Structure 1
């Protein structure tokens, strides 16, 4: 039986030929046939490898950049931390010094109050508060102990609380000192003039002769005419002028019931109502009134009663 119309199909292989041709056409020409699929597969693998390498390089570069930035930031933070640590330690030292200064003020307050008055109950310092202590290197604390910010803040807060207490205590002490200074300044305590004491306080032989004696309510200090006579304490002049046997007399009120009298002056320099200070010249020595020669008759009276001036000198 005869076959009609038979068609034969031949499969054509796709491939690449790699030829190696010598220079100048001399020598053998080599050829290598590579299937299309092998070339495509190899090209795909190479493409994947290239992409992987590129991605890896980019990732590595990014990682290195981040690491470099992190390193720079870490170094900056270390520097900042170092500076802050130094500042904190310096702050701790300053705070400790401030606390020591406050303690010295407390001690000074106590010492001054003991000088002002022997009665401690009337001048007790209100500054005796127990304050926290801190330890830090270089200021007496154990080596290696670093200042703690909470401790420093606690001390600062405590010192801030102590400021108004210290202020009130020192203001009260100042007022007390001013009052005592004023009392001392108003208390006769110096000689009214230079010279020789010719008569003392109490009974004496009459300077005008005879066997009778008289009561002398002050002391007499003799010197030359014109010798300066000074106020023996701060006060206000309540009399200035002639007064019977005292001659030219000055009387000064020092407050607290204390009055001083200066008699037999040659010349008076002050007037009634004038304020005078201790050591200020108020007159010049003379021999006016009942007097046997140039001298000053000096009296101290307390609540109107003459007392021995020697107790005030």
Structure 2
């Protein structure tokens, strides 16, 4: 029996299939020949469809795997951002507590997302896990974005408030005016020079060696810088809002009336001028028209309100 060799080549491919078909198949009636040709064509179509299907399926699987990896990365990023927004919220609560402000409401930050979803979108999301997962990622991203936006707005508001407070605190006395030993306290006492009993001591005395530096305890404007029979070399500074500080018995003055001074700026040196029994600084704090205990305006250590 004779055979006819048929070579089938795939388009755009180096692969081919060789078939050996009996010669009599091509000698029969035209209907038989047509049947053979159609069968042969169907065979070719089946081989081609199988090859294309395998190639497309392989490409789809790779694309799906890549998409899964991308979604996992996005989910990780969203989890990190969600955790970061939580850290920001705790920091925000601490700042509110530090400045005695009403703490923010945690429930208000957990904003929900939603809205009308059309039947077509519901059908797509219900029939495709990928679209459902993407929709959930989008909703989660919108929720986290809302939280971060609210954190940013809150910190901007806090920054403005703190800036205003720092601007005000610059003019509030909050440090010790000099280094030394605190002696005579605020309140009634026996005057060390005149011996007068029950005389109000309107400040505190801080003793140290002559020429010990004396500092302005807050920003302000020098009202007086002169010699006073009682206080000797004397400086008075106005800090605004009815607050003034006064410094007496100094050895030397370094400021003059009308001069703007800043906290920690040296305004003079300790001495024993005026009615004094030894080298020390007499320091007063006035609020309005009355003296107050200066110790309440001295923070411990080297701290200040700014």
Would you say same fold, with TM above 0.5? yes
Q: For 2:51, which of 48, 68, 79 is the aligned residue?
A: 68
For residues 173 and 250 of structure 2, what CA distance do their matches in structure 1 show? Answer: 19
CA contact (8 A) 2:204 2:294 kept: yes
Larger radius of gyration: 1
Aligned residues: 259
Kindly report which structure 2 residues correspond to 1:1-313, keeping only aligned pairs within 5 A, or say none: 44-45=27-28, 52-117=35-100, 120=102, 124-125=104-105, 128-131=108-111, 148-210=133-195, 214-313=199-298
Cα 1:193–1:285 change in 2 (3 A) is same
For residues 270 and 282 of structure 2, what CA distance do their matches in structure 1 show? Answer: 10
- Which protein has greater RCO, CA pairs closer than 8 Å, 6+ apart? 2
- 1:124-154 CA deviation, whole Å, 9 max, x = no partner? 4587233469xxxxxxxxxxx9982212211
CA contact (8 A) 1:106 1:127 kept: no
Instruction: Return 5+ residue gaps in structure 1 as ranges.
Output: 1-40, 134-144
User: TM-score scaled by structure 2?
Assistant: 0.71
CA contact (8 A) 1:127 1:162 kept: no
CA contact (8 A) 1:200 1:218 kept: yes
For residues 159 and 257 of structure 1, what CA distance do their matches in structure 2 show? Answer: 48
CA contact (8 A) 1:110 1:125 kept: no
Cα 1:190–1:151 change in 2 (3 A) is same
User: TM-score scaled by structure 1?
Assistant: 0.70
For residues 42 and 294 of structure 1, what CA distance do their matches in structure 2 show? Answer: 132
CA contact (8 A) 1:257 1:302 kept: yes
Secondary structure, aligned partner of 1:236: strand
Secondary structure, aligned partner of 1:199: coil
